[in-house]
Structure 1
Amino acid sequence: MPFYQSAISSDRTMTTSDKASTTEQLSLVFELYQRIPQGRKVTAKQLQAELADAGMYRGIRSVQRNLDVIVNYFDVDKDTRSKPFGYSRGIYSQPTLSARELVLLQLAKATISQQLPPSLEYAIDFAFSLLRAQPRTHTGMRPPQGDTRKAHTFINELNASKVLGKFFEPISVALVHQKQITLTLKSGKQIEQVSPVGIATTINELYLVYQNTLNDYDDLPLTCIAELKVLTFYFDYPSDFQLQQYQLKSEPQRSTLLTNNITPLIASDR
Protein backbone atom coordinates (compact mmCIF):
# COMPACT_ATOMS: atom_id res chain seq x y z
CA MET A 1 0.00 0.00 0.00
CA PRO A 2 1.52 3.32 -1.01
CA PHE A 3 2.36 5.76 1.75
CA TYR A 4 -0.45 8.31 2.22
CA GLN A 5 -2.59 6.82 -0.52
CA SER A 6 -5.53 9.10 -1.14
CA ALA A 7 -8.87 8.12 0.34
CA ILE A 8 -12.06 9.49 -1.23
CA SER A 9 -15.14 9.47 0.95
CA SER A 10 -18.13 11.48 2.08
CA ASP A 11 -17.78 13.68 5.16
CA ARG A 12 -20.95 12.05 6.48
CA THR A 13 -19.56 8.50 6.39
CA MET A 14 -16.38 7.95 8.39
CA THR A 15 -15.17 4.36 8.35
CA THR A 16 -11.79 2.73 8.78
CA SER A 17 -11.83 1.76 5.12
CA ASP A 18 -12.22 5.25 3.67
CA LYS A 19 -10.45 7.47 6.22
CA ALA A 20 -6.74 7.70 6.92
CA SER A 21 -5.59 6.25 10.21
CA THR A 22 -4.77 8.58 13.08
CA THR A 23 -1.07 7.90 12.62
CA GLU A 24 -1.17 8.69 8.91
CA GLN A 25 -3.25 11.81 9.56
CA LEU A 26 -0.71 13.11 12.07
CA SER A 27 2.10 12.24 9.68
CA LEU A 28 0.40 14.25 6.94
CA VAL A 29 0.13 17.28 9.24
CA PHE A 30 3.85 17.16 10.03
CA GLU A 31 4.77 16.53 6.38
CA LEU A 32 2.84 19.67 5.44
CA TYR A 33 4.30 21.68 8.31
CA GLN A 34 7.92 20.94 7.43
CA ARG A 35 7.29 22.04 3.83
CA ILE A 36 6.00 25.48 4.84
CA PRO A 37 8.94 27.88 4.36
CA GLN A 38 10.18 30.66 6.60
CA GLY A 39 10.08 34.25 5.41
CA ARG A 40 8.03 33.62 2.25
CA LYS A 41 4.63 32.20 1.36
CA VAL A 42 3.53 28.97 -0.24
CA THR A 43 0.03 28.03 -1.44
CA ALA A 44 -2.01 24.91 -0.72
CA LYS A 45 -1.71 23.91 -4.39
CA GLN A 46 2.08 24.11 -4.24
CA LEU A 47 2.16 22.00 -1.07
CA GLN A 48 -0.17 19.46 -2.67
CA ALA A 49 2.26 19.17 -5.60
CA GLU A 50 5.23 18.69 -3.24
CA LEU A 51 3.37 15.92 -1.41
CA ALA A 52 2.54 14.22 -4.72
CA ASP A 53 6.23 14.34 -5.71
CA ALA A 54 6.95 12.46 -2.48
CA GLY A 55 4.29 9.83 -3.26
CA MET A 56 1.69 11.29 -0.85
CA TYR A 57 -1.51 11.92 -2.76
CA ARG A 58 -4.19 14.12 -1.18
CA GLY A 59 -7.01 16.19 -2.62
CA ILE A 60 -6.75 19.96 -2.41
CA ARG A 61 -9.56 20.18 0.16
CA SER A 62 -7.82 17.67 2.40
CA VAL A 63 -4.62 19.73 2.19
CA GLN A 64 -6.53 22.92 2.99
CA ARG A 65 -8.27 21.34 6.01
CA ASN A 66 -4.97 20.13 7.42
CA LEU A 67 -3.38 23.53 6.82
CA ASP A 68 -6.15 25.12 8.90
CA VAL A 69 -5.28 22.73 11.73
CA ILE A 70 -1.60 23.66 11.42
CA VAL A 71 -2.41 27.39 11.50
CA ASN A 72 -4.41 26.89 14.71
CA TYR A 73 -1.77 24.89 16.57
CA PHE A 74 1.63 25.81 15.11
CA ASP A 75 3.68 28.93 14.36
CA VAL A 76 2.23 29.28 10.86
CA ASP A 77 0.62 32.41 9.41
CA LYS A 78 -2.21 32.30 6.85
CA ASP A 79 -2.38 35.34 4.58
CA THR A 80 -6.04 35.76 3.60
CA ARG A 81 -5.68 39.19 1.93
CA SER A 82 -5.80 37.65 -1.54
CA LYS A 83 -6.36 34.28 -3.18
CA PRO A 84 -4.77 31.82 -3.32
CA PHE A 85 -4.02 32.07 0.40
CA GLY A 86 -0.36 31.97 1.39
CA TYR A 87 1.17 30.08 4.32
CA SER A 88 4.50 30.85 5.98
CA ARG A 89 6.45 30.18 9.16
CA GLY A 90 7.97 32.94 11.26
CA ILE A 91 11.68 33.71 11.04
CA TYR A 92 13.50 33.19 14.32
CA SER A 93 17.01 34.06 15.37
CA GLN A 94 19.61 32.00 13.54
CA PRO A 95 23.07 31.08 14.83
CA THR A 96 25.96 33.15 13.47
CA LEU A 97 28.64 31.09 11.76
CA SER A 98 32.36 31.64 12.07
CA ALA A 99 34.36 32.27 8.89
CA ARG A 100 35.49 28.62 8.79
CA GLU A 101 31.95 27.25 9.27
CA LEU A 102 30.56 29.65 6.66
CA VAL A 103 33.05 28.58 3.99
CA LEU A 104 32.50 24.89 4.81
CA LEU A 105 28.74 25.32 4.39
CA GLN A 106 29.21 27.23 1.13
CA LEU A 107 31.48 24.48 -0.19
CA ALA A 108 28.98 21.78 0.80
CA LYS A 109 26.18 23.61 -1.01
CA ALA A 110 28.36 24.13 -4.09
CA THR A 111 29.20 20.42 -4.20
CA ILE A 112 25.58 19.26 -3.89
CA SER A 113 24.31 21.89 -6.34
CA GLN A 114 26.85 20.73 -8.93
CA GLN A 115 25.96 17.05 -8.63
CA LEU A 116 22.18 17.09 -8.23
CA PRO A 117 19.74 18.07 -11.02
CA PRO A 118 18.17 21.55 -11.40
CA SER A 119 14.79 20.16 -10.30
CA LEU A 120 16.19 19.96 -6.75
CA GLU A 121 17.56 23.51 -6.78
CA TYR A 122 14.75 24.89 -4.59
CA ALA A 123 15.13 22.11 -1.98
CA ILE A 124 18.91 22.66 -1.86
CA ASP A 125 18.50 26.41 -1.47
CA PHE A 126 15.99 25.92 1.35
CA ALA A 127 18.20 23.33 3.08
CA PHE A 128 21.07 25.84 3.11
CA SER A 129 18.87 28.82 4.10
CA LEU A 130 21.20 29.41 7.06
CA LEU A 131 23.65 30.96 4.57
CA ARG A 132 21.17 33.73 3.77
CA ALA A 133 20.69 34.55 7.45
CA GLN A 134 24.34 35.39 8.08
CA PRO A 135 25.19 39.03 8.93
CA ARG A 136 26.37 41.17 6.05
CA THR A 137 28.43 43.59 8.18
CA HIS A 138 30.94 43.15 10.97
CA THR A 139 31.93 45.69 13.61
CA GLY A 140 35.04 47.57 12.55
CA MET A 141 35.14 45.91 9.11
CA ARG A 142 33.84 46.67 5.64
CA PRO A 143 30.78 44.67 4.52
CA PRO A 144 31.78 41.26 3.10
CA GLN A 145 31.59 40.95 -0.67
CA GLY A 146 31.18 37.99 -3.00
CA ASP A 147 28.82 35.97 -0.78
CA THR A 148 28.55 32.33 -1.92
CA ARG A 149 30.68 32.91 -5.04
CA LYS A 150 33.75 32.29 -2.88
CA ALA A 151 33.18 28.51 -2.97
CA HIS A 152 32.86 26.32 -6.06
CA THR A 153 33.47 22.71 -7.06
CA PHE A 154 34.64 21.42 -10.44
CA ILE A 155 32.90 18.05 -10.49
CA ASN A 156 30.50 16.33 -12.87
CA GLU A 157 26.75 16.11 -12.44
CA LEU A 158 25.48 12.71 -11.32
CA ASN A 159 24.07 10.41 -14.00
CA ALA A 160 20.39 10.54 -15.01
CA SER A 161 19.28 13.85 -13.56
CA LYS A 162 15.62 13.16 -14.43
CA VAL A 163 15.68 9.95 -12.40
CA LEU A 164 17.24 11.76 -9.45
CA GLY A 165 14.60 14.46 -9.56
CA LYS A 166 11.83 11.84 -9.63
CA PHE A 167 13.03 9.52 -6.86
CA PHE A 168 15.10 11.71 -4.53
CA GLU A 169 12.10 13.03 -2.58
CA PRO A 170 10.35 9.68 -1.86
CA ILE A 171 13.69 8.04 -0.99
CA SER A 172 14.40 10.88 1.44
CA VAL A 173 10.97 10.40 3.06
CA ALA A 174 11.58 6.66 3.42
CA LEU A 175 15.05 7.18 4.90
CA VAL A 176 14.16 9.90 7.38
CA HIS A 177 10.89 8.33 8.54
CA GLN A 178 12.18 4.73 8.30
CA LYS A 179 9.48 3.48 5.94
CA GLN A 180 9.93 0.39 3.82
CA ILE A 181 9.81 0.63 0.04
CA THR A 182 9.05 -1.53 -2.98
CA LEU A 183 11.21 -1.15 -6.10
CA THR A 184 10.53 -2.00 -9.71
CA LEU A 185 13.71 -2.06 -11.80
CA LYS A 186 14.02 -1.18 -15.47
CA SER A 187 14.77 -4.87 -16.10
CA GLY A 188 11.25 -5.70 -14.88
CA LYS A 189 12.44 -7.25 -11.61
CA GLN A 190 10.52 -6.24 -8.49
CA ILE A 191 12.15 -5.96 -5.08
CA GLU A 192 9.48 -6.15 -2.40
CA GLN A 193 9.40 -4.50 1.01
CA VAL A 194 13.03 -3.52 1.60
CA SER A 195 14.36 -1.17 4.28
CA PRO A 196 16.43 1.78 2.97
CA VAL A 197 19.45 2.42 5.23
CA GLY A 198 21.35 5.13 3.35
CA ILE A 199 22.48 6.86 0.18
CA ALA A 200 26.05 6.70 -1.12
CA THR A 201 27.68 8.71 -3.90
CA THR A 202 30.60 7.80 -6.14
CA ILE A 203 32.22 10.13 -8.68
CA ASN A 204 29.15 10.28 -10.91
CA GLU A 205 26.53 7.90 -9.50
CA LEU A 206 24.05 7.87 -6.62
CA TYR A 207 23.34 4.53 -4.93
CA LEU A 208 20.52 3.37 -2.65
CA VAL A 209 21.70 1.03 0.10
CA TYR A 210 19.01 -1.18 1.61
CA GLN A 211 18.34 -4.23 3.81
CA ASN A 212 16.33 -6.97 2.12
CA THR A 213 13.82 -9.42 3.59
CA LEU A 214 16.66 -11.86 4.40
CA ASN A 215 18.33 -9.13 6.51
CA ASP A 216 21.21 -8.91 4.02
CA TYR A 217 22.47 -5.56 2.77
CA ASP A 218 22.49 -4.68 -0.91
CA ASP A 219 22.59 -1.64 -3.15
CA LEU A 220 21.73 -0.41 -6.61
CA PRO A 221 22.21 2.81 -8.60
CA LEU A 222 19.16 5.03 -8.85
CA THR A 223 19.49 4.85 -12.64
CA CYS A 224 18.26 1.22 -12.46
CA ILE A 225 14.95 2.13 -10.80
CA ALA A 226 11.78 2.39 -12.92
CA GLU A 227 9.23 2.74 -10.10
CA LEU A 228 9.42 3.25 -6.34
CA LYS A 229 6.64 3.09 -3.75
CA VAL A 230 6.98 4.21 -0.13
CA LEU A 231 4.99 1.84 2.09
CA THR A 232 3.26 2.41 5.42
CA PHE A 233 5.40 -0.23 7.13
CA TYR A 234 7.88 1.16 9.66
CA PHE A 235 11.25 -0.52 10.34
CA ASP A 236 13.83 -0.19 13.10
CA TYR A 237 17.14 1.09 11.79
CA PRO A 238 19.73 -1.69 12.24
CA SER A 239 21.98 -0.84 15.20
CA ASP A 240 24.87 -2.95 13.88
CA PHE A 241 25.03 -1.32 10.43
CA GLN A 242 27.70 1.28 9.63
CA LEU A 243 27.11 2.99 6.29
CA GLN A 244 30.61 4.49 6.32
CA GLN A 245 32.07 0.96 6.36
CA TYR A 246 29.76 -0.47 3.70
CA GLN A 247 31.30 -1.54 0.38
CA LEU A 248 29.16 -1.15 -2.72
CA LYS A 249 28.32 -4.47 -4.36
CA SER A 250 27.11 -2.77 -7.55
CA GLU A 251 30.62 -1.36 -8.07
CA PRO A 252 33.00 -4.16 -6.96
CA GLN A 253 36.14 -2.51 -8.32
CA ARG A 254 35.95 0.18 -5.63
CA SER A 255 37.45 -0.40 -2.21
CA THR A 256 35.59 0.42 0.98
CA LEU A 257 33.98 3.83 0.62
CA LEU A 258 35.59 6.79 2.29
CA THR A 259 33.57 8.69 4.84
CA ASN A 260 33.36 11.82 2.68
CA ASN A 261 31.67 9.83 -0.10
CA ILE A 262 28.82 8.73 2.15
CA THR A 263 25.58 10.52 2.84
CA PRO A 264 23.62 8.76 5.62
CA LEU A 265 20.17 10.35 5.39
CA ILE A 266 18.88 9.25 8.78
CA ALA A 267 18.05 11.11 11.96
CA SER A 268 21.26 12.15 13.72
CA ASP A 269 20.17 10.70 17.05
CA ARG A 270 19.68 7.19 15.70
Structure 2
Amino acid sequence: MKKLTLLSLTGLLLLGLAGCSDLTRAIRGDDYVDSQASASASASSSEAASAELQKALKADSSAFPQLSTEVADDEAEVILQTSKGDITIKLFPTYAPLAVENFLTHAKEGYYNGLTFHRVIADFMIQSGDPNGDGTGGQSIWNGEDDSIDSGNGFKNEISPYLYNLRGALAMANAGADTNGSQFFINQNKEDQSSGLSSDQYPQAIIDAYKKGGNPSLDGDYTVFGQVISGMDVVDSISAVATDSNNKPTESVTITGIKIVKDYDFDKK
Protein backbone atom coordinates (compact mmCIF):
# COMPACT_ATOMS: atom_id res chain seq x y z
CA MET A 1 0.00 0.00 0.00
CA LYS A 2 1.40 3.39 -0.96
CA LYS A 3 1.47 5.99 1.81
CA LEU A 4 2.16 9.71 1.64
CA THR A 5 4.77 11.03 4.07
CA LEU A 6 6.71 14.21 4.66
CA LEU A 7 10.16 12.86 3.99
CA SER A 8 12.11 13.91 7.08
CA LEU A 9 9.28 14.27 9.57
CA THR A 10 7.73 11.71 11.89
CA GLY A 11 4.18 11.49 13.17
CA LEU A 12 3.03 12.56 16.62
CA LEU A 13 4.56 10.30 19.26
CA LEU A 14 3.10 8.93 22.44
CA LEU A 15 5.98 9.90 24.71
CA GLY A 16 5.41 7.58 27.60
CA LEU A 17 3.18 5.92 30.16
CA ALA A 18 3.38 6.22 33.94
CA GLY A 19 1.31 4.62 36.69
CA CYS A 20 -0.33 6.72 39.42
CA SER A 21 -2.35 4.56 41.87
CA ASP A 22 -5.07 2.96 39.72
CA LEU A 23 -4.95 5.81 37.25
CA THR A 24 -2.80 5.55 34.15
CA ARG A 25 -1.73 8.85 32.64
CA ALA A 26 -0.46 9.25 29.10
CA ILE A 27 2.07 12.00 28.46
CA ARG A 28 1.70 14.00 25.25
CA GLY A 29 4.27 16.78 25.21
CA ASP A 30 3.81 18.79 28.41
CA ASP A 31 0.18 17.76 28.89
CA TYR A 32 -1.03 14.98 31.17
CA VAL A 33 -4.15 13.24 29.92
CA ASP A 34 -6.35 10.92 31.95
CA SER A 35 -6.24 7.82 29.74
CA GLN A 36 -9.61 6.59 30.99
CA ALA A 37 -11.28 9.86 30.01
CA SER A 38 -9.36 9.86 26.74
CA ALA A 39 -10.49 6.30 25.96
CA SER A 40 -14.09 7.26 26.74
CA ALA A 41 -13.92 10.27 24.43
CA SER A 42 -12.34 8.13 21.72
CA ALA A 43 -15.07 5.51 22.00
CA SER A 44 -17.73 8.21 21.79
CA SER A 45 -16.07 9.68 18.72
CA SER A 46 -15.84 6.24 17.09
CA GLU A 47 -19.53 5.61 17.72
CA ALA A 48 -20.42 8.95 16.13
CA ALA A 49 -18.21 8.22 13.13
CA SER A 50 -19.79 4.78 12.73
CA ALA A 51 -23.28 6.27 12.85
CA GLU A 52 -22.33 8.86 10.25
CA LEU A 53 -20.90 6.13 8.00
CA GLN A 54 -24.10 4.11 8.25
CA LYS A 55 -26.02 7.20 7.19
CA ALA A 56 -23.67 7.78 4.26
CA LEU A 57 -23.96 4.16 3.12
CA LYS A 58 -27.69 4.71 2.57
CA ALA A 59 -27.30 8.05 0.77
CA ASP A 60 -27.69 8.56 -2.97
CA SER A 61 -25.06 10.17 -5.19
CA SER A 62 -26.32 13.71 -4.55
CA ALA A 63 -24.98 13.51 -0.98
CA PHE A 64 -21.36 13.29 -2.17
CA PRO A 65 -20.06 16.69 -3.32
CA GLN A 66 -17.12 15.24 -5.24
CA LEU A 67 -19.50 13.64 -7.73
CA SER A 68 -20.76 16.96 -9.06
CA THR A 69 -18.86 19.58 -11.03
CA GLU A 70 -21.25 22.29 -9.83
CA VAL A 71 -19.97 24.58 -7.08
CA ALA A 72 -22.59 24.77 -4.33
CA ASP A 73 -23.34 27.76 -2.09
CA ASP A 74 -21.43 26.17 0.80
CA GLU A 75 -18.33 25.43 -1.31
CA ALA A 76 -15.36 27.50 -2.48
CA GLU A 77 -13.56 27.45 -5.83
CA VAL A 78 -9.97 28.16 -6.85
CA ILE A 79 -7.83 27.95 -9.97
CA LEU A 80 -4.46 26.40 -9.24
CA GLN A 81 -2.24 27.98 -11.88
CA THR A 82 0.82 25.91 -12.77
CA SER A 83 3.62 26.04 -15.30
CA LYS A 84 1.81 23.17 -17.07
CA GLY A 85 -1.62 24.84 -17.13
CA ASP A 86 -4.62 25.61 -14.92
CA ILE A 87 -6.43 23.23 -12.56
CA THR A 88 -9.86 24.30 -11.27
CA ILE A 89 -10.76 22.88 -7.87
CA LYS A 90 -13.81 23.19 -5.66
CA LEU A 91 -13.29 23.06 -1.88
CA PHE A 92 -15.47 21.60 0.89
CA PRO A 93 -15.46 23.82 4.01
CA THR A 94 -18.54 22.08 5.44
CA TYR A 95 -16.65 18.80 5.78
CA ALA A 96 -13.05 20.00 6.12
CA PRO A 97 -13.14 23.58 7.47
CA LEU A 98 -9.59 23.57 8.87
CA ALA A 99 -7.99 22.30 5.68
CA VAL A 100 -9.98 24.68 3.48
CA GLU A 101 -9.31 27.73 5.65
CA ASN A 102 -5.62 26.82 5.78
CA PHE A 103 -5.42 26.42 1.99
CA LEU A 104 -7.40 29.56 1.14
CA THR A 105 -5.46 31.73 3.61
CA HIS A 106 -2.11 30.48 2.29
CA ALA A 107 -3.36 31.09 -1.26
CA LYS A 108 -4.42 34.66 -0.50
CA GLU A 109 -1.08 35.41 1.14
CA GLY A 110 0.88 34.03 -1.82
CA TYR A 111 2.43 31.27 0.28
CA TYR A 112 2.21 28.73 -2.53
CA ASN A 113 3.39 31.01 -5.34
CA GLY A 114 6.55 29.69 -6.98
CA LEU A 115 6.56 26.40 -5.10
CA THR A 116 7.31 23.22 -7.02
CA PHE A 117 5.56 19.90 -7.31
CA HIS A 118 8.33 18.22 -5.36
CA ARG A 119 6.94 14.68 -5.40
CA VAL A 120 5.30 13.14 -8.46
CA ILE A 121 4.38 9.48 -8.89
CA ALA A 122 2.69 8.52 -12.14
CA ASP A 123 -0.54 6.55 -11.70
CA PHE A 124 -0.69 7.70 -8.07
CA MET A 125 -0.54 11.42 -7.19
CA ILE A 126 1.21 14.81 -7.53
CA GLN A 127 2.33 16.65 -4.38
CA SER A 128 3.24 20.28 -3.63
CA GLY A 129 3.00 22.95 -0.93
CA ASP A 130 6.49 22.69 0.60
CA PRO A 131 8.60 25.89 0.70
CA ASN A 132 11.70 23.70 1.06
CA GLY A 133 10.88 21.88 -2.15
CA ASP A 134 11.90 18.48 -0.82
CA GLY A 135 9.04 17.30 1.39
CA THR A 136 10.59 18.40 4.68
CA GLY A 137 8.89 21.75 5.27
CA GLY A 138 5.71 23.75 5.41
CA GLN A 139 3.52 25.13 8.18
CA SER A 140 -0.16 25.66 8.76
CA ILE A 141 -1.61 29.14 9.20
CA TRP A 142 -1.87 28.43 12.94
CA ASN A 143 1.54 26.85 13.52
CA GLY A 144 0.82 26.02 17.15
CA GLU A 145 -0.69 29.39 18.06
CA ASP A 146 -4.07 27.81 18.79
CA ASP A 147 -3.62 24.54 20.68
CA SER A 148 -7.27 23.62 20.10
CA ILE A 149 -6.46 23.42 16.37
CA ASP A 150 -2.72 23.05 15.94
CA SER A 151 -0.26 21.52 18.39
CA GLY A 152 2.73 22.90 16.55
CA ASN A 153 3.09 19.57 14.75
CA GLY A 154 0.12 20.36 12.52
CA PHE A 155 -3.65 20.64 12.55
CA LYS A 156 -6.15 17.84 13.03
CA ASN A 157 -7.24 15.36 10.37
CA GLU A 158 -10.79 15.82 9.11
CA ILE A 159 -12.11 12.49 7.88
CA SER A 160 -15.63 12.32 6.47
CA PRO A 161 -17.67 9.43 5.03
CA TYR A 162 -18.76 11.88 2.34
CA LEU A 163 -15.24 12.55 0.96
CA TYR A 164 -12.79 10.06 -0.60
CA ASN A 165 -9.47 9.85 -2.44
CA LEU A 166 -11.13 9.60 -5.82
CA ARG A 167 -9.28 10.54 -9.00
CA GLY A 168 -8.93 14.34 -8.84
CA ALA A 169 -9.40 14.57 -5.07
CA LEU A 170 -7.34 17.24 -3.31
CA ALA A 171 -6.01 16.10 0.07
CA MET A 172 -3.56 17.13 2.78
CA ALA A 173 -0.22 15.32 2.95
CA ASN A 174 0.89 14.45 6.47
CA ALA A 175 3.51 12.67 8.53
CA GLY A 176 0.97 10.79 10.63
CA ALA A 177 -2.36 11.61 12.25
CA ASP A 178 -3.01 15.32 12.91
CA THR A 179 0.26 16.62 11.43
CA ASN A 180 -1.22 18.65 8.56
CA GLY A 181 0.80 21.72 7.60
CA SER A 182 0.84 23.19 4.11
CA GLN A 183 1.63 20.25 1.83
CA PHE A 184 -1.13 18.81 -0.32
CA PHE A 185 -1.58 16.30 -3.12
CA ILE A 186 -3.97 15.58 -5.96
CA ASN A 187 -4.91 11.95 -6.58
CA GLN A 188 -4.06 11.16 -10.21
CA ASN A 189 -4.40 7.39 -10.65
CA LYS A 190 -6.86 6.58 -13.45
CA GLU A 191 -7.08 2.80 -13.07
CA ASP A 192 -10.30 1.16 -11.86
CA GLN A 193 -10.11 0.80 -8.07
CA SER A 194 -13.63 -0.44 -7.39
CA SER A 195 -12.82 -4.13 -7.20
CA GLY A 196 -12.82 -5.41 -3.64
CA LEU A 197 -14.39 -2.32 -2.07
CA SER A 198 -16.91 -3.45 0.50
CA SER A 199 -20.46 -2.10 0.51
CA ASP A 200 -20.21 -2.24 4.31
CA GLN A 201 -17.51 0.45 4.20
CA TYR A 202 -18.15 2.33 0.95
CA PRO A 203 -21.36 3.90 -0.40
CA GLN A 204 -22.30 2.43 -3.77
CA ALA A 205 -21.97 5.84 -5.44
CA ILE A 206 -18.35 6.03 -4.28
CA ILE A 207 -17.59 2.46 -5.37
CA ASP A 208 -18.88 3.42 -8.81
CA ALA A 209 -16.77 6.60 -8.78
CA TYR A 210 -13.65 4.59 -7.98
CA LYS A 211 -14.07 2.85 -11.35
CA LYS A 212 -12.58 6.05 -12.82
CA GLY A 213 -9.50 5.81 -10.59
CA GLY A 214 -8.18 7.17 -7.33
CA ASN A 215 -6.48 5.69 -4.27
CA PRO A 216 -8.89 4.08 -1.78
CA SER A 217 -5.89 2.79 0.22
CA LEU A 218 -5.45 6.38 1.46
CA ASP A 219 -8.99 6.75 2.79
CA GLY A 220 -9.18 7.40 6.50
CA ASP A 221 -5.57 8.61 6.82
CA TYR A 222 -5.61 11.84 4.81
CA THR A 223 -7.96 14.82 4.85
CA VAL A 224 -9.76 15.19 1.52
CA PHE A 225 -10.87 18.81 1.16
CA GLY A 226 -11.38 19.45 -2.54
CA GLN A 227 -12.01 18.00 -5.99
CA VAL A 228 -10.68 18.92 -9.42
CA ILE A 229 -13.59 19.94 -11.64
CA SER A 230 -11.52 21.04 -14.64
CA GLY A 231 -7.91 20.47 -15.67
CA MET A 232 -7.30 16.79 -14.98
CA ASP A 233 -5.38 16.78 -18.25
CA VAL A 234 -2.92 19.15 -16.55
CA VAL A 235 -2.71 16.85 -13.51
CA ASP A 236 -1.97 13.94 -15.87
CA SER A 237 0.65 16.03 -17.67
CA ILE A 238 2.42 16.82 -14.40
CA SER A 239 2.28 13.17 -13.35
CA ALA A 240 4.01 12.16 -16.58
CA VAL A 241 7.17 14.28 -16.15
CA ALA A 242 10.50 12.53 -15.67
CA THR A 243 11.54 12.09 -12.03
CA ASP A 244 14.65 11.07 -10.10
CA SER A 245 14.98 8.22 -7.59
CA ASN A 246 13.19 10.34 -4.95
CA ASN A 247 10.19 10.95 -7.21
CA LYS A 248 11.23 14.58 -7.67
CA PRO A 249 10.69 15.97 -11.19
CA THR A 250 13.92 16.50 -13.09
CA GLU A 251 12.28 19.51 -14.73
CA SER A 252 10.80 22.14 -12.43
CA VAL A 253 7.00 22.21 -12.38
CA THR A 254 5.75 25.16 -10.34
CA ILE A 255 2.66 26.81 -8.93
CA THR A 256 2.56 30.25 -10.57
CA GLY A 257 -0.42 31.45 -8.55
CA ILE A 258 -3.79 30.55 -7.06
CA LYS A 259 -6.85 32.53 -8.11
CA ILE A 260 -9.78 32.59 -5.69
CA VAL A 261 -12.87 32.27 -7.90
CA LYS A 262 -15.33 31.83 -5.01
CA ASP A 263 -14.32 32.53 -1.44
CA TYR A 264 -15.91 31.27 1.77
CA ASP A 265 -16.80 33.26 4.89
CA PHE A 266 -15.64 31.22 7.88
CA ASP A 267 -17.00 33.81 10.31
CA LYS A 268 -20.55 32.82 9.42
CA LYS A 269 -19.97 29.27 10.64
Question: TM-score when scaled to structure 1?
Answer: 0.23
Structure whose alpha-carbon radius of gyration is higher: 1
Please identify which structure carries the higher helix content. 1
Bigger RCO of structures 1 and 2 (CA < 8 A, at least 6 apart): 2
Question: TM-score when scaled to structure 2?
Answer: 0.23
